[in-house]
Amino acid sequence: MKQNTFKTLKFFWKQAMAYKLVFGCMTAALLVGVLSSMAWAILFREFFAILTGGGSQDVIVAALISILLYIVALESLEWVGWRTAHFLNNYFQPRVMSNIANKCFEYIHGHSYRFFSNNFVGSLVKKVNRMIGGFERVADKLYWDMFPLVLRILIIGAVLFYLHPLLGAIMGVWTVIFVFVQYKLSRFKLRYDIPRAAMDSKVTAALADTISNSINIKLFAALKYELKRFTKITDKWFRITRTDWNVGAYIEAGQAALMILLEFAIMYSAIRLWQNGLLKVADFFLIQAYLFEIFHQLWNFGRNLRDLYEALADSEEMTEILITKHEIADTTDAKILQVGSGKVEFKKVYFSYGEGESVLKNLSFSVKSGQKVALIGPSGGGKSTIVKLLLRLFDLQKGEILVDGQNIADVTQQSLREEIALVPQDPILFYRTLKENIRYGKRNASDKEILAASKMAHCHEFINRFPRGYETYVGERGVKLSGGQRQRVAIARAILSNAKILILDEATSSLDSESEALIQDALMNLMKQKTTFIIAHRLSTIMRADKIFVLEGGKIIEDGSHSDLVGKKSGLYKRLWDLQVGGYL
């Protein structure tokens, strides 16, 4: 995977800078907290210097109490600084994280139909969650760890230099070497972190895929097979993760060795300076206190730096999605589609799903306002492709699709899809109530409108049988409803939308004979004064269509009414009709 660490940081920074005032106050509060926390060692140095300096006991006690009061005041200031930083951060981070979630939500849903076909749902969800969690981890590491660390190193270096330039020089040179080595090693470890993060996503995707297909695993008695397959993936995850963690352990071992070297160099130099009368006994307390502090901070520096890169690595998969241009995008001057009559025209349309052979080849046809057109033909003939292109789920290679004379490539996708209602063969519902799913066709619809649409679609009857009626939750993807019930909900949704163009993709295929008979009338009412495309394999359902297009190999090879086509002795439609109907007579 291409590394996008800088782009991820840039994205995080842009989101954070939407709250500059809060961020500035947080920085000031943290500065107060860190400076106050570092000053106590200097006061205690004076405390021990007075204790070992000799003199009147009363004078010594008074001086010690005075220093103690300064320490209490300093710790109170530190308390205020840290508490202020915490409470400001409690607003700042969740606010930015929610904005990141919104940005990811908006951008990911702007991707094309092809994008979602090529990506696992579980994997995409995990990438979004990792991006959100990645910001929290990056912000924590930079704000609570890295920034205070830099301040502490500067303060410690300045104090040691004040005690004696030699101590400051040793500290400065060692810190530069340590930080440089840690940075290089952390960058080196990143090449192991990124594959581990990618493997995490693969494990999640594989798990989500099997859970989504749990019924197939049971029906085909495939648990052992799927477990073996999943175990291969987790074994690969284990090997990559173990290598990644081992690299981290080696880095920490080297880090500890460098710290031992620093402690020896500083303390040996301090002893020699004391021997020459250049340091006091109390200075050893200050040096040792600051050594413990810098060891603690720099030990965590290596780990924090690696955690920072791991968090960025976890976020990079989502960054890839955020920097990938949308395949289907509105033009900069896209207009709102104005639909009056609902006339649809395909003009010399060429389309293929990849680099292979075209699915549609020089396809041209016109559907008049209010006309009912059926699309039939063998699988792969281009029926579903025509519908997808009309909805602009894909862009054409050549040609134009016009709605009331307006090229759909020049109008906004939202305005186009608002004027088209689709009743698919296998409707997918939200894990929401029946009322919310029906209202999706017209989000501001009243309860009265929902009830009317439900009655027209003949789903009011079965909804009333549920204890909670329209407030019944349908389960994930509508799993609590039968196929026929889902289809009737989809029809109610389409009725409610009242779009000028209607697409029925095997809209009655999941219905029993009794339900189909009821709904045929509802569909006829729904289709009134609407330009309608009907995809059907059962030819008996399209006999009343105004025109039938017979597609094969991406071309219209026959067109006409049912009576016209069935009268052709050697036509494909006649042959299909005889197979479906004539064989039963």
> CA 375, CA 547: separation in Å to the nearest integer?
9
Which strand (E) or helix (H) includes residue 480? none
3-state secondary structure 301-322: HHHHHHHHHHHHHHHHHHHHHH
pLDDT for position 554: 87
Q: What are phi and psi of 473, to 5 degrees?
A: -80, 135
Residue 66, CA distances (Å) to 72, 77, 83, 286, 576 in order:
10, 17, 26, 19, 103
Tokens 């901070």 correspond to 297
> CA 255, CA 178: separation in Å to the nearest integer?
8
Nearest to 315 by CA among 197, 146, 139: 197
pLDDT for position 513: 66
CATH topology of domain 5-323: ABC transporter transmembrane region fold (1.20.1560)
Give the residue extent of every domain in the chain: 5-323, 340-419+501-510+529-585, 426-498
**Residue 283 DSSP one-character state:** H
pLDDT for position 201: 79
> CA 241, CA 250: separation in Å to the nearest integer?
14
Beta sheet of 531-535, edge-to-edge order: 420-423, 501-505, 531-535, 372-376, 547-552, 555-560
CATH topology of domain 340-419+501-510+529-585: Rossmann fold (3.40.50)
Beta strands 547-552 and 398-403, pairing class? unpaired
Residue 353, CA distances (Å) to 226, 382, 383, 401, 453 in order:
31, 11, 14, 17, 37
Render the burial of 408-442: b for 16+ CB within 10 Å, e for the rest. bbebbbebbbbbbbbbbbebebeeebbbbbbbbbb
Helix axes 57-109, 5-16, angle to 10 degrees: 110
Which strand (E) or helix (H) includes residue 52? none
pLDDT for position 542: 84
pLDDT for position 157: 82
**Residue 141 DSSP one-character state:** I
| 5-323 and 340-419+501-510+529-585, same CATH topology | no
Question: Can you count the helices (H) and strands (E) in the chain?
Answer: 19, 10
pLDDT for position 59: 74
For domain 426-498, the CATH superfamily is P-loop containing nucleotide triphosphate hydrolases (3.40.50.300)
Q: What is the pTM of this model?
A: 0.78
Q: Do the Cβ atoms of 156 and 172 come closer than 8 Å?
A: no
The mean pLDDT values, 10 residues at a time, for the chain of 585 residues are 77 95 96 88 72 71 81 90 96 96 94 88 87 94 90 85 83 82 78 82 85 81 88 92 86 80 80 80 75 76 77 88 93 93 94 82 92 89 91 94 96 94 87 93 92 89 92 87 86 90 79 67 76 84 88 90 86 84 51
pLDDT for position 514: 65
> CA 100, CA 199: separation in Å to the nearest integer?
23
Longest dimension (CA), the chain: 126
pLDDT for position 351: 93
Burial (Cβ within 10 Å: 0-12, 13-18, ≥19) of residue 309: buried
Q: Pseudo-torsion of CA 385, 538, 459, 461, nearest 10°? A: -170
> CA 59, CA 539: separation in Å to the nearest integer?
109
Q: Do the Cβ atoms of 550 and 565 come closer than 8 Å?
A: yes
Q: Do the Cβ atoms of 404 and 338 come closer than 8 Å?
A: yes
Burial (Cβ within 10 Å: 0-12, 13-18, ≥19) of residue 40: middle
